[in-house]
Structure 1
Amino acid sequence: MTDQQPDGWAAVPHVDTLRGTQEAPVPAGVPTPARRRRPVRRGALVGIVAGGVAVVVLAVTGVVGYVSQSASHAADRPVRAFLDDLTAGRVDDALDAAGIDHDDQDVLLTDAAYAKASGRVTGYRIAATRTDGDTATVRAYLRQGGRDVAATFTLDREGTDWGVFPVWALEAPELGEVELSVRGPAGTPVEVAGQRIATSEDGTARLSALPGTYAVAVDGGKWFTAEGASAQVSGFGVTGSAPVAMTTTLTSAGEQAAQQAVDRWVDGCIASTDAAPAGCSFYAYGEDPEYAYSNQKWTLEQRPRVTVGGWLSRGWAVSTTTFGRATFTADISGPGGVGTASAGPMNVNASGYVSGFTDEGATFESAIGNGASDTGS
């Protein structure tokens, strides 16, 4: 007998595919097979991981950005920018960064002048920063001439960036000064770090200067000179360098010109036809008003000898070591007839001072007027 399935049986769905059907219970003692979990699709997993990473990246980026902006807006940043330019010799940039006013008269506040200074600022370190409301104070040490020089800078808050980060502006630091005093003629040319200036009427000069040591030299041409010196400016916020005092002395050409100036002065007095030459150290007196005088003449019998010393308040001192001698003669006519009158010989004192020089030579001024101190006048 052959087993046959009824027609259409094969089309009956399997019980597992029927809704509402349940698998038969597992008999006791029979192990239950592990239930497999549906695997998460790879695309979904990548999306979840990527989303988590994005959140982390955004957080890290935000932290890094905040830290970076905080550092770039720190109160010491303008100070660093100023000192970076200064140590690199970019004087114009440094002055602009610090808001330091200057003009053409500030001959030492240039790249060229600062390049010739020694003992410049070659480095620095920030020691401390203190913020008090809208004001900040930055203490630094400048490396200058092989030693550390303390400096303090003040900054003001000028607002904020993005309403969060403070914007600080550096107050212009007080510059030091090169102070000069030249014992010599007013307007004496002086070179400071290669820059030429002229002293004032009282022989002084004051120049704003950045930290450094500046060579100073008097330029008296061929007439006079002075020993070279240097002015040291330490850091900022100081009143000035130790005053540099320079005393001029005549060169051999200057001494010769001084002697020639004295000789011209004596010759000018001798050339006068007055009994009392104006501005001279000798004169004749005792004229008789009843007589007429003519052919009045001075004759120099001996020229005075002088020495030229150091600078006094009005010039290089000229001292008479040996008086000159001069006589005065004149023709006279009057009630007693005609004749010749004479006076002397009398001293010619050439003491005075040389007040300066021109291209033509020295300028001599007598310290004795009309023979007031002469013996034998």
Structure 2
Amino acid sequence: MVGIVAGATALVLLVVAGGVGWSVGSDSHSAERPVESFLDDLEHGHLSDAIRTAGIDRDRDDVLLTDTVYARAGDKVTAHRITSVEQQSDRATVRTVLTQAGRTVPATFELERTGTDWGVFPVWSLRAPTLGSVQVAVQGPPRSTVQVAGADVRTDASGTASLRAFPGSYGVHLDGGKWLTATDSTAAVPGFGATGTPVVVATTLTDAGSKAASAAVDAWVDACVAEPTPIPAGCSFYAYGADPANTYTDQKWTLESRPTVTVGGWAVKGWAVSTRSAGSASFRAQFTGPAGRGTATAGPITVRAAGWITAFSDDGATFESAIGKGQADSGS
């Protein structure tokens, strides 16, 4: 009788243990587990582990997807809550609510069944979630280097950069050296798959940059004045009325007053240059012709300067004129 009771008790214990084991096994193999693991790693700053869990592929352009950079980000995900789990035979959907920057943000994760453990419990793998992106547009020379959360990022030929990023906020800084300056800003990524408002980095010239820009315009004016021809190529002033029957020699421009300019903000091709006050120049040449010898003169002729400061180098600024032959001025 005792043996029968003992055997019955053992059977009950086996049944209970089996039930507990099944419950534990089912719980540890539920579809929400990989999501929990992924978000726990994210909340604790273990970005590399989170990326590995989610199967996210990184390439060399993903400069924001590192532990070091993510540690500098602000407004990160600090908590989460699973709101629902829809589980089918080979796929599952887990819906969550994330806490980010003091507000709740919904996020949905997809999983697929990739096998079984012990031939019984499903193994779920998290599909790589769509990340958000940081968008930066520099109002300055294309292919400029900016720092996003301390990582160097180079803009493309249009002056923009797009970077994959996890939810958070990322500081944007441009070091313009002695020529340029820009106000620091912040790029926000408000959740997974979210594209934050593009950050526009507006550059302005420093005092050194403004002086270099004025010097570049002065050099352009001087080069125009130095041309021994009545129509200096690509310049804003010219003289006309030459008699084709005459031969002209000793042709010379004289700058009587220099134009002053204003350098404004970036305008597609460069920092816009406009004439604040016009200068003037006169032209003089000797001629020989059917009527004999003489001196030809023209002027004073208005000298303007408009265009763009397109670049800076160790030698200073580069000025590109927007005014061609006689487009804004009349000759004499």
TM-score bracket relative to the smaller structure: over 0.9
CA contact (8 A) 2:235 2:325 kept: yes
For 2:249, the equivalent position in structure 1 comes to 294
Q: State yes or no: 1:113 paired with 2:32.
A: no
CA contact (8 A) 2:79 2:98 kept: yes
**1:69 aligns with one of 25, 40, 46:** 25
Q: State yes or no: 1:253 paired with 2:253.
A: no
Pick 1 or 2: higher relative contact order, CA cutoff 8 A, min separation 6. Answer: 2
Aligned residues: 332
Separation (CA, whole Å) in 2 of partners of 1:139 and 1:305: 64
Separation (CA, whole Å) in 1 of partners of 2:244 and 2:5: 131
**1:270 aligns with one of 217, 222, 225:** 225
For 1:26, the equivalent position in structure 2 comes to none
Task: Deviation per CA, 1:265-294: give whole Å up to 9, x if none.
Answer: 111111111221111101122222222222
Separation (CA, whole Å) in 2 of partners of 1:91 and 1:371: 62
Q: State yes or no: 1:241 paired with 2:202.
A: no
Q: State yes or no: 1:220 paired with 2:198.
A: no
CA contact (8 A) 1:317 1:354 kept: yes
Q: Secondary structure at the match of 1:186?
A: coil
Alignment of 1:227-376 (within 5 A): 227-238=183-194, 240-376=195-331
Matched AA of 1:141: V
CA contact (8 A) 1:188 1:219 kept: no
Deviation of the 1:213 alpha carbon: 0.6
Q: Secondary structure at the match of 2:20?
A: helix
Q: State yes or no: 1:100 paired with 2:25.
A: no
Matched AA of 1:207: L
CA contact (8 A) 1:180 1:244 kept: yes
**2:139 aligns with one of 183, 205, 226:** 183
Deviation of the 1:75 alpha carbon: 0.3
Deviation of the 1:339 alpha carbon: 3.2
Separation (CA, whole Å) in 2 of partners of 1:332 and 1:75: 95
Q: Secondary structure at the match of 1:248?
A: strand
Deviation of the 1:327 alpha carbon: 1.5
Separation (CA, whole Å) in 1 of partners of 2:100 and 2:235: 58
Separation (CA, whole Å) in 2 of partners of 1:54 and 1:203: 75
CA contact (8 A) 1:191 1:216 kept: yes
Separation (CA, whole Å) in 1 of partners of 2:238 and 2:83: 77
Separation (CA, whole Å) in 2 of partners of 1:310 and 1:255: 11
Q: Secondary structure at the match of 1:103?
A: coil
Deviation of the 1:89 alpha carbon: 1.4
For 2:127, the equivalent position in structure 1 comes to 171
CA contact (8 A) 1:277 1:283 kept: yes
CA contact (8 A) 1:189 1:198 kept: yes
Separation (CA, whole Å) in 1 of partners of 2:65 and 2:27: 31
Separation (CA, whole Å) in 2 of partners of 1:346 and 1:200: 42
Q: State yes or no: 1:133 paired with 2:69.
A: no
Separation (CA, whole Å) in 2 of partners of 1:108 and 1:369: 46
CA contact (8 A) 2:212 2:317 kept: yes
In structure 2, the gaps of 5 or more residues are none
Q: State yes or no: 1:89 paired with 2:69.
A: no
CA contact (8 A) 1:78 1:170 kept: yes
Matched AA of 2:98: L
Percent identity, aligned pairs only?
56
CA contact (8 A) 2:298 2:331 kept: no
Matched AA of 2:278: F
Q: Secondary structure at the match of 1:264?
A: helix
Answer with 143-152 or 252-261: which moved more.
143-152
Separation (CA, whole Å) in 2 of partners of 1:338 and 1:95: 86
Deviation of the 1:164 alpha carbon: 1.4
For 1:5, the equivalent position in structure 2 comes to none
**1:80 aligns with one of 21, 36, 50:** 36
Task: Deviation per CA, 1:174-232: give whole Å up to 9, x if none.
Answer: 10111122222222222111112122222222111100011112232222222221111
Answer with 223-232 or 206-215: which moved more.
223-232
Deviation of the 1:50 alpha carbon: 5.8
Deviation of the 1:359 alpha carbon: 2.3
Higher strand share: 2
CA contact (8 A) 1:127 1:139 kept: yes
CA contact (8 A) 1:189 1:220 kept: no
CA contact (8 A) 2:131 2:164 kept: yes
Q: Structure 2-normalised TM-score? A: 0.93
Task: Deviation per CA, 1:284-332: give whole Å up to 9, x if none.
Answer: 2222222222222211111111111222232222111221111122222
Query: What is the Cα-based RMSD across aligned positions, in Å?
Result: 1.9
**1:153 aligns with one of 83, 86, 109:** 109
Deviation of the 1:69 alpha carbon: 1.2
Separation (CA, whole Å) in 1 of partners of 2:5 and 2:60: 67
